[in-house]
Structure 1
Amino acid sequence: MFVWFTDEKDDAMRLLFMLLLVLLAGCEETPTGRSQLALVPEDLMAQMGEDTFDQLRRNQPVSRDAAANRQVQCVARNVVAAAEASYPAADLPDAWEVVVFEDASPNAFALPGGRIGVHAGLLRVAETPDQLAAVIGHEVGHVLADHGNERLTQQLGIKAGLLLVGLFGEGDLGQQQLMQALGLGARLGISLPFSRAHEEEADLMGLAIMARAGFDPQQSVELWRNMAAAGGGQPPEFLSTHPAHGSRIEALQQAMEEAVATYRATTPADCSG
């Protein structure tokens, strides 16, 4: 099929047409089978992850608590091994680096290239190694599913789309208002739902991973109950990048039977010492 543009907006239409071709050609699947568009080269994503992690280590103190570091390293080691066994076809980092940061917030994160950061404050909410495994499994799930790449690709696509809309306008006040409205619409209609989809996918991947690693998957529900108690109120779910605690718990419970069966067929992990 040939497409020929003849009006004054030829350049914008060609750009839009080429963008659509790229989108159609670039669709892949996550390890759970969800369709995904992730167009940023993986080596670039890994380099960005390394640079960000190095900057965090320069700007944030690292925990010297030997017991905390020992437990986090033990849980992470078991979780990573289970992730590699659970998703052998996934594009996994060659090595993983895990650091405990002196930060009171109950949080953790994972970056492309296999960098995992755990805040010391998380260890006051994740009361057992099993609950810690739920968090680390979740973060490893983000890396395995290439969520960072997908989100960056999505943001670049939104910016390109808004640029195209701008090319069709006259630059008056009405056009500026339209651009602002489209920006908000893109955030509510694309960015936030996709972020929640990432969180939900990472939750379920993490549940399967922690069970295979020998950690009790039922403790994932206890973890989110602890998070709900520690975190106070949340914004309305449709305005949040993360699912509400109740929604997370419900989704985990729906997948619990299979996870428990996996856990009972494994040797329990021992990261208590």
Structure 2
Amino acid sequence: MSNLKKTYLMIVVALGIFACATNPFTGKKTMALVSNDQLFPTSFAQYNQFLSENKVIEGTSDAKMVTRVGQKIAVAAERWLNANGYVGYLNDYKWEYNLVDDDAINAWCMPGGKIVVYTGILPVTQTETGLAVVMGHEVAHALANHGQQRMSAAYVQQGVALAGNIAIQNEKDRNAFNQYYGVGSQVGVMLPFSRAHETEADKIGLYIMAVAGYNPDEAAELWKRMSAGSEGQAPPELLSTHPSNESRIANLTALAPTAKQEAAKFGVTTFK
């Protein structure tokens, strides 16, 4: 192998080792090849563009509920972070909460705290507490920097693929590498990575909604409704970016008592 190829491979490995951040909820090191200083401005610009291209609902009871729940979730997150030694963690967040007219059963939170809830999910959430389950989960993705981690993992995935193509001279071997690496890295690495993020966001979101005063028992109930609405159309868990509904319901049910204990540390013992 040439010095150039060796150098390239060393760079890929070094980036994966040294470009790290700390997840405040787990204490674990995470990949951070893209800093929030770079990510947040792009996120804010994309959010504004999205709002300009979609129908934002304002002034209705549902729109007010989205804002109310979002504000409570943001306050609870800051309380938890401050109490656990992460004062100032949210300084660069620019919280914003919008309800958008769209039949999709979806909601999301971009890096930096920009949130959208689609009207299509409200019949499933049904109540303010059901909405808190969804928004707590989406905010958790942003708080744990999952977007940053996914981008970083994609860069590493692409870097390894490029390094393999540089290193393998034989065309037949190179084609085989591309075929097996593409499938293997997706099914064996990227999809489990994404499912782990979803499970982590479920846990963080459950804790935050409980600290905000919302009953964490309702999380499993929400996912039972989600499961009933999917009519068994979800792909097998192995090939999905998300855990199965069954896994999610079982996990949330098991975590709810712990979430209540976490909320009790902040004096919250009754729930909406």
* TM-score higher than 0.5: yes
Q: 1:134 to 1:185 in 2, by over 3 A?
A: same
Matching residue of 2:114: 115
1:124-179 C-alpha deviation (Å, 9 max, x unpaired): 10011111101111111111100000000000111010000001223624422321
RMSD, aligned α-carbons: 1.8
Q: Bigger CA drift: 212-221 or 178-187?
A: 178-187
Matching residue of 2:245: 245
Matched, 1:167 2:166: yes
Matched, 1:41 2:23: no
Q: Note the C-alpha offset of 1:64.
A: 4.2
Structure 2: unaligned runs, 5 residues or longer: none
Secondary structure at 2:241 match in 1: coil
Letter of the 1:10 counterpart: N
Secondary structure at 2:257 match in 1: helix
Q: Note the C-alpha offset of 1:65.
A: 6.1
Taking every aligned residue pair, what percent have the same amino acid on both sides? 33
1:206-235 C-alpha deviation (Å, 9 max, x unpaired): 000000000010011111111111122210
1:171-217 C-alpha deviation (Å, 9 max, x unpaired): 62442232122111111111101101110000000000000000010
1:14-71 C-alpha deviation (Å, 9 max, x unpaired): 1111222232223333122233111212121101211221221122211246111011
Residues in 2 aligned to 1:97 and 1:226: alpha-carbon distance in whole angstroms = 27
Q: Which residues of 2 match residues 207-246 of structure 1 at below 5 A?
A: 207-232=206-231, 233-246=233-246
Hey, which bits of structure 1, 4+ residues long, moved more than 6 A? Answer: none
Matched, 1:134 2:141: no
Residues in 1 aligned to 2:210 and 2:236: alpha-carbon distance in whole angstroms = 31
Residues in 1 aligned to 2:155 and 2:262: alpha-carbon distance in whole angstroms = 39
Matched, 1:266 2:268: yes
Q: Do the aligned residues in 2 keep the contact of 1:78 with 1:269 (CA within 8 Å)?
A: no
Structure 1: unaligned runs, 5 residues or longer: 1-6
Residues in 2 aligned to 1:180 and 1:267: alpha-carbon distance in whole angstroms = 54
Instruction: Say which of 51, 56, 78 aligns to 1:57.
Output: 51
Residues in 1 aligned to 2:89 and 2:187: alpha-carbon distance in whole angstroms = 30
Secondary structure at 2:57 match in 1: coil
The alignment of Structure 1 onto Structure 2 pairs a total of residues equal to 263
Residues in 1 aligned to 2:155 and 2:29: alpha-carbon distance in whole angstroms = 18
